[in-house]
Amino acid sequence: MPSALLTDLYELNMAASYLRRGMDQEATFSLFVRRLPANRGFLVAAGLEPCLGFLEDFRFEEEELEHLGSRLGFDDATLEAFRSLRFEGDVWAVPEGRVVLADEPLLELTAPIAVAQLVETYLLNVITFQTTIASKAARCVIAADGRDLVDFAFRRTQGVDAAMAVARATAMVGFGATSNVEAGRRYGLPVAGTMAHSYIESFPIERDAFVAFATDFPTRTTFLVDTYDTVNGVRTAIEVIRELGLTEHLGIRLDSGDLDPLARQARRVLDEAGMHHVRIFASGGLDEMDVDRLVRAGAPIDAFGVGTRVGVSADAPYVDSVYKLVEYDGRPVLKLSAGKATAPGRKQVFRGPGGDVIALRNEPIPEGHEPLLVPVMEGGRRTGPRRTLTTARHLFEADLARLPERARRLQTPDPPKARLSEALGELTGTIRAEMLRRAGVP
């Protein structure tokens, strides 16, 4: 169970101050992304399910309270107030796997303000990271154009927890497998793996290594052929396949060099030997731009392993996510800071043929539109069973198919822009004027 101390100190300071003053009214916070990275035409919502588990289990354990008192100086009254805190609020959210745009709420949470404030850091951390990775991985899926993808990121992610999240997020958008065995167990994912160059080098000759591996794993043999000479490695693999009578789930892996000509040479040698069924798997520092280049060039590659640059979303390692108060004690509120202004009130996003509309939660659904945010928690409990990664993948595939080509582009994408409903625009103007008046701004 994640600790309630997975938060920033200023969240604890604010929560303590609210509680001392008896401020237990409901607050609604909206989590959204202000601006997309320069090279993104869309985002993919991810990270919701782990957040719901965190909210369901939210509480301070005794040792955590002792730490807050002895090391951070919170008084006994505050610690006693913390002891009784639970998340008993409501959450509306965009289901995982759905395509989202800038300014659209991914999640809106309503709870007494102290609790709503305390969970901010965890929600932002999880949703920001998993949405970042899912969006990067989605670009790989577009580039692969139907070819298989495998998550190879485990050894290069920035932490073991990140590796688990990467395996989950990549599966959500269509990766067929992961190299991460624990992620496969935890999330029910197919696991894929071949061999390393060290395995080849540990045998006297390449052929001995191929024979040993194929003997041990005859139903899932992929030969790493580029340790010494790629084309010769392919020929050696063919000899071993014939010698051992292997027939199913066979492949060769290219992990270095100029993959386009090497794949063509390998395919030609395999086909001349009558081994049209042997697949070519490519890896080695790839990202969506490399995959796209190879696919567009017609390189005969059946599957790609992508790792480092996807696992850290190297070109856009974060998204500009925020968690902002939009209503307190039934009163819509907003922020007017330059470049960081927000819109007030609980919201909904309506998706239709004319684009997305950010509206107030209680507005009627326009004809031909669907609401993106759905109630996922009521009274601190989930509204239904956990959504599966299969469900998320289906949602992603459907949304991606409807996305304009200009947003799907890997280079210079042009993201669609959501517009405000008339009612939300009017409310924003009214609250803005009222806030300026209260502040004495002419």
- For the chain, 442 residues long, give each residue's pLDDT as a single digit of tens: 789 999 999 999 999 999 999 999 999 999 999 999 999 999 999 999 999 999 999 999 999 999 999 999 999 999 999 999 999 999 999 999 999 999 999 999 999 999 999 999 999 999 999 999 999 999 999 999 999 999 999 999 999 999 999 999 999 999 999 999 999 999 999 999 999 999 999 999 999 999 999 999 999 999 999 999 999 999 999 999 999 999 989 999 999 999 999 999 999 999 999 999 999 999 999 999 999 999 999 999 999 999 999 999 999 999 999 999 999 999 999 988 888 889 999 999 999 999 999 999 999 999 999 999 999 999 999 999 999 999 999 999 999 999 999 999 999 999 999 999 999 999 999 999 988 888 788 7
For residue 31, what are the β-bridge partners?
107, 323
Q: Strands 347-352, 370-371: parallel, antiparallel or unpaired by DSSP? A: antiparallel
Residue of 66, 58, 60 lying closest to 83 (CA atoms): 60
The label of the residue with tokens 């007030």 reads: 344
CATH code 3.20.140.10 for 9-133+317-438: yes
Neighbouring residues of 316: CB distance < 8 A, sequence distance ≥ 6: 37, 38, 39, 40, 132, 135, 136
Q: Which ranges constitute the DSSP H helices of 177-221?
A: 181-187, 197-201, 206-216
Per residue in 75-110, is it b (16+ CB within 10 Å) or e — as a string? eeebbebbeebebebbbbbbbbbbbbbbbbbbbbbb
Separation between Cα atoms, residue 179 and residue 372, nearest integer Å: 33
pLDDT on residue 340: 84
Residue of 189, 419, 124, 145 lying closest to 296 (CA atoms): 145
Residue of 125, 132, 128 lying closest to 173 (CA atoms): 132
Residue 158 is inside which H or E element, if any? none
For residue 297, the 8-state DSSP code is H
Candidates 3.40.190.10, 3.40.50.300, 3.30.70.1140, 3.20.20.70; correct CATH number of 143-311? 3.20.20.70
DSSP E strand stretches across 287-434: 303-306, 321-328, 331-332, 347-352, 355-360, 370-371, 374-378, 381-382, 419-420
Query: Which 3 state secondary structure label does DSSP give 377?
Result: strand
pLDDT on residue 336: 86
Separation between Cα atoms, residue 227 and residue 431, nearest integer Å: 66
Separation between Cα atoms, residue 110 and residue 55, nearest integer Å: 12
Residue 106 has φ and ψ, to the nearest 5°, of -85, -30
Separation between Cα atoms, residue 81 and residue 71, nearest integer Å: 18
pLDDT on residue 245: 96
pLDDT on residue 288: 98
pLDDT on residue 411: 96
The domain locations on the chain are 9-133+317-438, 143-311
426-434 LR contacts (CB < 8 Å, sep 24+): 427/332, 427/343, 427/344, 427/345, 427/360, 428/334, 428/343, 428/344, 431/332, 431/333, 431/334, 431/344, 432/334, 432/336
Separation between Cα atoms, residue 412 and residue 224, nearest integer Å: 36
Take residue 250 and report the two structure tokens written for it. Answer: 């066979």
Residue of 352, 367, 348, 366 lying closest to 424 (CA atoms): 348
Q: Work out the burial of residue 52: count CB atoms within 10 Å of its CB; fewer than 13 is exposed, 13-18 middle, 19 or more buried.
A: buried
Alpha-carbon Rg for the chain, nearest whole angstrom, is 26
For CA atoms 8, 13, 14, 16, the dihedral sign is positive
Contact (CB, 8 A) for 302 and 148: yes
pLDDT per position as a tens digit, 239-269: 999 999 999 899 999 999 999 999 999 999 9
pLDDT on residue 438: 82
Query: Which 3 state secondary structure label does DSSP give 375?
Result: strand
Contact (CB, 8 A) for 114 and 24: yes
| Mutual angle of helices 389-402 and 160-172, in 10-degree steps | 60
Separation between Cα atoms, residue 2 and residue 121, nearest integer Å: 12
Separation between Cα atoms, residue 134 and residue 430, nearest integer Å: 37
pTM above 0.75, yes or no: yes
Separation between Cα atoms, residue 257 and residue 197, nearest integer Å: 14
Take residue 256 and report the two structure tokens written for it. Answer: 């270095």
